[in-house]
Chain A
Amino acid sequence: MKRGIFLPLVTVLGFVFLYAPILSLIVFSFNESRLVTVWGGFSTRWYGQLFRDPQILNAAWISLRVAVVSASIAVVLGTLVAFVLMRFGRFRSRALLTGMATAPLVMPEVITGLSLLLLFVSMEQLLGWPAGRGETTIIIAHITFCLAYVAVVVQSRLAGMDQSVEEAAMDLGARPVRVFFDITLPIIAPALVAGWLLAFTLSLDDLVIASFVTGPGASTLPMVIFSKVRLGVSPDVNALATIIIGIVALGVGIAMWQMRRAIRRDRE
């Protein structure tokens, strides 16, 4: 490939394409004017309005709770799936498990959402549980689709891991459960962290599935944002976006700094 201007140019344009909308979100969050596109002077009034909006605060709280709980459970279940598929060899229901663990990755959200809602309605009719829909049903739905993503991440880590390390532990007298907790788990820990973060983000980001399976009173943050955005321009959404971007950037910054430090420490 030509070592000319082409590659850097496309890359720069690509990053402009990725970041220009985000930058404009941030800039206009400090706009005095209600119009998101006309600059009316610097102001932080939308931030004030945001923090006085109980609907948004409440939704943010619900979303956070849902995301933490469903990411944590999804990590446990997803790790089990990955471990079983990578280490148990052949067993009955293996094909079934493989299919069910990968299908959510290609399943359109509308279908997942609809099917889970219909399940919850039917279960309520037949079993009386779950009584109504809300946070619990959202959590169940999020666990189900996040589990598949966690399983993929953990599976690739398990595949990349030298299996003789596990055998060595067993050879030195550790029983299978012990081997898992002493050896396998610490080695795949980065994948668990990555899987948790992925599940957390997916859950926090989900609009479609939550819209299907939620009930009265349980509106997640994306649902509130969506209804605001659909009605037209709302500068307080810009303010919210800026805060989220700030938190993410901070988190990534800390993670990178930590990584650098760990690498430097290893070199010494």
Chain B
Amino acid sequence: MTGARRVTESALGRLGLSGRALVVAVPLVWLLVFFLIPFLVVAKISLSEVTIARPPYLPLLEWDGLRATLNLNFENYAYLWNDPLYGNAYLFSVRVAFVSATLALLIGFPMAYYIARSPEPRRTLLLTAVILPFWTSFLLRVYAWQGFLRSNGVINNTLISLGIIDTPIVMLQTDFAVYIGIVYTYLPFMILPLYANLVKLDDSLLEASADLGGRPVATFFYVTLPLSMPGIIAGFMLVFVPAIGEFVIPELLGGPNTLMIGRVLWNEFFANRDWPVASAVAIAMLVVLVVPIMALRSAQARAEEKR
């Protein structure tokens, strides 16, 4: 039998405590250095002036040997505010993300429901089939849609050869193609949380509703839908949030006028080499989009904890 040893103020106790601190410190320091501090750097550079140099911005703090001068430059933000391009890009991104998430919900809900209600071997198989595309390269799947949507692409060729249309429909390089691309890419992210929620839905609840006189439509709106709300919210956010900042899909499928904010930032940085303005765009995006989303999420988490 273990002799009960006293571990009060002993070295062991202190060692245990510092071991605990170490376990916390490793990821904490990593995230501080590589996640939090970078935003401070972005904020700093968003306040500096662009120049042709390496790196292409002027330092905030100048030291001429006698005194330091602080060159705070809010022009980049004023520029964002005054040029309608940026505001429009923000609004357009939110709209695209919202519409895409709604479309994904409309397609994803019946699919998730059907999969969740399927008998066992089929259920796992279908679920795997939903996840499978996710494991293949996202970029290549967007590229596949290029081949589908272009004027001499699969869809137009099929329609023409069937005699349904004479001249190809322009689909690639339109907003339509962007919606398709986003819904396509993020559909699994909608289906998975919905499935996880619907599979837990107790059959006897549906039976109880039917027993109490609820027709299928009533059962759906009064029982199934309210109970699957957490899944709907989770799925919606999983599509909506990454879609806002999307760069690849508008770049490859959209036209030159499909200006989503992620693409604007990319161009500002890589094409114009204007690091300060790109930084200002990032900070604005952070404040306008990311912070509200984070707040929403933590509010949601707290609400769930209370339940």
- Judge whether B30 is part of the interface by a CB distance below 8 angstroms: yes
**B contact residues around A205 at 8 Å (CB):** 137-139
Q: Are A119 and B136 interface neighbours, CB within 8 A?
A: no
How many whole Å from B179's CB to the nearest CB in chain A? 13
Question: Looking at the complex, which one of A6, A78, A96, A110 makes contact with B245 (CB distance below 8 Å)?
Answer: A110
Instruction: Return the CB mask of B29-57 against A: 1 if under 8 Å, else 0.
Output: 01110111111011001000000000100
B255 contacts the other chain (Cβ, under 8 Å)?
no
In the complex, the number of residue pairs spanning A and B with C-beta atoms less than 8 Å apart equals 232
Q: Find out whether the CB atom of A1 lies under 8 angstroms from the CB atom of B224.
A: yes
The residue that B16 contacts in the complex, of A20, A122, A176, with Cβ under 8 A, is A176
Contact (A37, B152) CB under 8 Å given A108-B242, A118-B38, A121-B55:
yes
- CB pair B247–A119 under 8 Å, yes or no, is no
What residues on A are CB-neighbors of B143 within 8 Å?
25, 225, 229, 237, 241
- The secondary-structure label for the interface of chain B is helix
Given A11, A25, A96, which contacts B114 in the complex, CB threshold below 8 Å?
A11
Residues facing B in A100-130 (CB within 8 A) are 100-111, 114-116, 118-119, 121-122, 125
Most buried by B among A28, A37, A84, A93: A37
B290 in the interface (beta carbon within 8 A): yes
- CB–CB B24/A88 < 8 A: yes
Q: Which of A108, A140, A141, A208 has the most CB of B within 10 A?
A: A108
For chain B, residues 1 to 32, give those with C-beta under 8 angstroms from any C-beta of chain A.
2, 16, 19-20, 23-24, 26-28, 30-32
For this complex, into which size category does the number of interface residues on chain A fall? 35 or more
CB distance from A30 to the nearest CB of B (A): 14
User: In the complex, what distance in Å separates the CA atom of A78 from the CA atom of B26?
Assistant: 11
Q: In the bound complex, do residue A24 and residue B137 qualify as a contact, i.e. CB atoms below 8 Å apart?
A: no
Query: What is the bound-complex CA distance between A161 and B105, given in angstroms?
Result: 31
Proximity string of chain A (29-58) to chain B, C-beta cutoff 8 Å, 1 when within and 0 when not = 000000111100000000000000000000
B139 touches A15 (CB 8 A): no
Minimum CB–CB distance from B149 to chain A (whole Å) comes to 10
Partner of A144, one of B34, B115, B124, B145: B34
Q: Does A230 contact B (CB under 8 A)?
A: yes
Given A19-B133, A222-B137, A237-B143, check contact A106 B241 (CB 8 Å): yes
Name the B residues within 8 Å of A245 (CB-CB).
136
Asked if B293 CB lies within 8 Å of chain A CBs, one says yes
Flag whether A244 is at the interface (Cβ < 8 A): yes
Q: Tell me whether A10 and B24 are in contact (CB under 8 A).
A: no
| Residue B269, interface by CB 8 Å | yes
Across-interface contacts of B39 in A (CB, < 8 A): 115
Minimal beta-carbon separation of B280 from chain A (angstroms): 11
| Cβ-defined partner of B154 (8 Å) among A37, A109, A176, A226 | A37
Asked if residues A114 and B282 are in contact (CB atoms below 8 Å), the reply is yes
Q: A115-B41, A144-B35, A252-B128 are in contact. Are A21 and B144 (CB under 8 A)?
A: yes
Q: Does B294 lie at the interface of the complex (its beta carbon under 8 Å from any beta carbon of A)?
A: yes
Residues of B contacting A212 in the complex (Cβ-Cβ under 8 angstroms): 269
Task: Determine the distance from Cα of A215 to Cα of B124 in the docked complex, in whole angstroms.
Answer: 43
B286 touches A (CB below 8 Å):
yes
Q: Across the interface, do B38 and A222 meet the contact criterion of CB distance under 8 Å? A: no
Give the docked Cα–Cα distance between A9 and B188 (Å). Answer: 18
Query: Does residue A7 face the partner (Cβ distance < 8 Å to B)?
Result: yes
Whether A25 and B107, one on each chain, are in contact in the complex, defined by CB atoms closer than 8 angstroms, is: no
Q: Check if B285 sits within 8 Å of A22, measured CB to CB.
A: no
Contact for B110 among A6, A22, A140, A251, CB less than 8 A: A6
B19, B30, B110, B224: the one within 8 Å of A11 (CB):
B110
Encoded as 1 (CB less than 8 Å from any B CB) or 0, chain A from 128 to 147 comes to: 00000000000011011001
Q: Please, how many angstroms separate the alpha-carbon atoms of A114 and B154 in the complex?
A: 37
Interface check B148, CB cutoff 8 A:
yes
B282 x A36 contact (CB < 8 A)? no
Partner of B147, one of A7, A28, A141: A28
A249 to B108, CA, bound (A): 23
Residue of A nearest to B243 (CB): A108
* 12 contacts across the A-B interface (CB closer than 8 A): A7-B114, A11-B126, A17-B184, A24-B148, A24-B154, A38-B157, A97-B28, A106-B294, A111-B285, A143-B30, A201-B134, A244-B140
| 8 A-B pairs with least C-beta separation | A108-B245, A115-B38, A21-B144, A10-B110, A119-B38, A100-B31, A241-B140, A7-B114
Can you name 10 extra interface pairs (CB under 8 A) apart from A110-B247, A111-B286, A118-B42?
Answer: A3-B216, A10-B114, A22-B133, A25-B143, A84-B23, A104-B35, A108-B290, A141-B34, A205-B139, A207-B248
